Structures are given as C-alpha cells and as structure tokens.
A and B are shown apart, each in its own frame.
Chain A
Amino acid sequence: MVEFELVSPEKLLMSQSVRMVVVPGAEGQLGVLEGHAPMIVTVLPGVIDVYADDMATITRRIFVAGGFCEVTGTRVTVLAEEALELDALRAQDRAGLEKQLSDLREDLDDAKSDAERKTLEGRVAVLQAKLEVQGLH
C-alpha cells in the first residue's frame, strides 16, 4: 500500500492508503505501487486514477489541472493547483467550457507580453484537457 496525498494550495484534498495510483506525468502515465523508486515528476492536466486492491477497478478518478508529484517508496504526493472529481467535471456544461476556451483563445491572440501569453497558454491547455476528459467514458 502507498500513502496517497492530493494537496491543493488551499487545502489537503485527499489522504489515504491505496494499492495503486496512476498519475498523468509529463512523460506518460505513471503507475505507482508500493516500493516505487523515488521520483519527482511534473504532472500534466489530466486524470488521476486511484485503484482498488484488486488492481482492476478504479475507485476514484480525479481531474487535476497540472502540478507536481513526488514519489517515494511509501508515499505519493501530488501538488495540484486545481482538482475536482471526474463526475463533477462531467456534470459541467460542455458548451460553457467550450465558450471559455474560445474566449481564452481570443485573449491569447491579444496577449501583449510573453508572460501573459504563457499563463494563458497554460489555462488553454487545462481547458482542452477538461474537454477531452469530458468526452471520455
């Protein structure tokens, strides 16, 4: 079992002992079991899957808007800036998200500084991931 922690800047969202978690890492999905080699990984916008003890059923699916993940032999810590249950995300209005995305794209075209462009690009990536995930079943 590994201790899985999901932390946002505003609070500790989740802390529980799990068999396996799959994290959307920068270089591909990363499944973590007990005894994993220590790693620090950048997390992309996507879904974290928490697996039940039989390693086949997924008990929780949580969407994160990117962040960082620290893995040690006994612990997985995900620092995410935004996180919500996949069901809550599915319940969101798809058209609204699409509207937000197109608004953001417009803002991106108008962006003046590099810094502004960079933050907007980040937000676009998050929204795209949200839409992508919403389409999945």
Chain B
Amino acid sequence: MPSLKDIRNKIASVKSTQKITSAMKLVAASKLRRAQEQAEAGRPFAERMGRMLSSLAANVAGGAGGPRLMAGTGSDRVHLLVVMTGDRGLCGGFNSTVVREARRTILRLQGEGKTVKLLTVGRKGRDLLRREFPSLIVANFEDMGRKRLSFAEADKVANKILELFDAGEFDVATMIYNKFKSAITQVVTLQQIVPFAPAAGTVDAVGSVGLQDGAKAVYEFEPSEERILADLLPRNLAIQIYSALLESAASFYGAQMTAMDNATRNAGEMIKKYTLIYNRTRQAAITKELIEIISGAEAV
C-alpha cells in the first residue's frame, strides 16, 4: 500500500508532465500552422514548373534520346530510397511508419534481386535504419529546417542525389515520406523522382489551369527544348524534394500535436485516478485513527 506521501509525489510528477505535454502541443500547433502556410506558398512554383515540364515533355519525344533524368539509365538494378523522417521523437507513429514502409520496400527490392541504397533525411530515420541496414546508407542529412525550411536546404539534398546519379550510383530513386492529410492523418507515400515521369494525374490537374491559353499552343524554345529540359529537370528534382520536405514537416508537427494531445489527456486521466486513490487512502487513515480513539476510550 503506497503511503499518502508517495501518492502525492506521483500526482505532482504527472501534473508537471502534463504541463510539458500541453505546452508541446501548443508549440506543435503553431509550428504546424507555419509549416502549412509554407507548403501553401510553395505550391505556385511547383504547379507552374509542372506545367512547363509537361509542355516541354510533350515536345521532346521521350525514350532513349531524352535526358537521362527523364528517360532513365535503361536499367533498374540499383535503387536509391530517400527516406524522410523527423529529427526528433515524441510524435507518435510519425517516424516509425516511414521506417516500417522503408524496411518493407528494402526487403521487397532485395527479394527481387535489386541492390538498394539509402539516403536518409532526419536523424530518427537514420538511427532506426542504421541498426538493421548499416551498410546501405550512403548519405544522411539532418537538422533540416530547424527554424524554417529553406529551398537552399532542399537543393543540397537534390545536389547530392544528382551527384550520385551522375556517378552512376543508382538507376531509380524513390522518396518515402509522410504526406500531410490533416493534423491527425499522415499518409506514407512512395514517390519516384528519378527517372522523372510527368505523372499523368498531376499533369492533367495542373495542365487544365493553362488549357485556355497554354496547353494547346505550340511553344517556341530558347535555347533548344533539349537544353531547357536538361536545365529544368534538376531544378524540378529540387522542387519535388522541397515540397516533400514541407509535407513531411507539416506531418511531423501534426503527428506531434496529436501525440501530445493524447499524452495530455492520458495525464489528466491518471491524475484523476490517483486523486481518487489519494482521497480513499486519506479517508481510510482517518477512519482508522477514529476507530483507534473510540476503541481506546471504550476500553477505559
């Protein structure tokens, strides 16, 4: 039977935990709003670039003649997985769902006899994957967007990927990250970035914006379309990564907010439960003392 003092201490400690989790929840909520705004602000660029790419791609016949970032290397032996997680925990299943999906993909690809390489963004993903696949990790980025994610940081990741690609280190690159649905739901998404295929769905959605004046028009190109495409594709890679990082950041704060909300509620329940036990024990002690006094008085 815990003493009254023990229970009091327990309540005090749960209360201070609750204070921390509810503060973290508020912080996560405000960061989430900022991350969402940033994702919103980044959308026009990605949209317009998608539009340009689709009209370019329509002009440059695909296939072997096209740039390698679009046509591929002609093989799919070596896969690079870009795994995006957070740098920190306390965010529910955010990191582990991505890592679980990464693990499944790695095992599947290896089962098909492919070589897998990993590029991790975020400390948590690196730590978790390093335990199981220490030899696969070729590069790691962390502390991305501590304050505010800048495009320059996404560019760094893109440059690394391009460097690996130019060195012939991989044939296909796929990103695994959490896509933001709402503060409570994040969807783990696999997205192929190299070779880049203007996804039919998105291009349609984007292309329809320009339909009135753009999509049907025949464009002139300065310099040649091949040259522009060769410039545009690496930029597009950086943009894809940038928007994935933004999605991931928004998801992280969403997941953290939800996790901290749950933690705060659980702490509340725990406090209720312990207060009940505390009062019971206190009353029991009083009753016991009364019985002692009364039976003492009777004995006299």
Contacts and interface: CB of A to CB of B under 8 A. Distances in A.
Interface stretch (A48-56, A67-75, A87-95, A128-136): A67-75
A12 B227 contact: no
A38 B219 contact: yes
Nearest to A3: B213
Contacts of B163: 113, 115-116
B219 A27 contact: no
B151 A79 contact: no
B292 interface: no
Interface in B150-185: 150-151, 154, 159, 162-163, 166
B30 to A, nearest CB: 19
B242 interface: yes
Contacts of A84: none
B214 A75 contact: yes
Given A68-B228, A119-B159, A10 B42 contact: yes
A60 to B, nearest CB: 19
Interface residues of A, number: 31
A75 B219 CA distance: 13
B41 A12 contact: yes
B132 interface: no
Interface in A18-52: 25-27, 30, 37-42
B232 to A, nearest CB: 6
A73 B213 contact: yes
Contacts of A79: 45, 48-49, 52, 235
Contact of B51 (A39, A70, A113, A115): A70
Interface string B249-270: 0000000000000000000000
Given A12-B44, A75-B214, A115-B166, A38 B220 contact: yes
Contact of A72 (B45, B151, B210): B210
Contact of B218 (A11, A38, A115): A38
Nearest to B242: A9
Interface of B: 38, 41-42, 44-46, 48-49, 51-52, 55-56, 150-151, 154, 159, 162-163, 166, 210, 213-214, 217-223, 225, 227-228, 231-232, 235, 238-239, 242
17 contacts: A9-B239, A9-B242, A10-B41, A10-B151, A37-B220, A39-B220, A39-B222, A40-B52, A40-B220, A40-B225, A68-B52, A68-B228, A68-B232, A68-B235, A70-B51, A74-B213, A81-B235
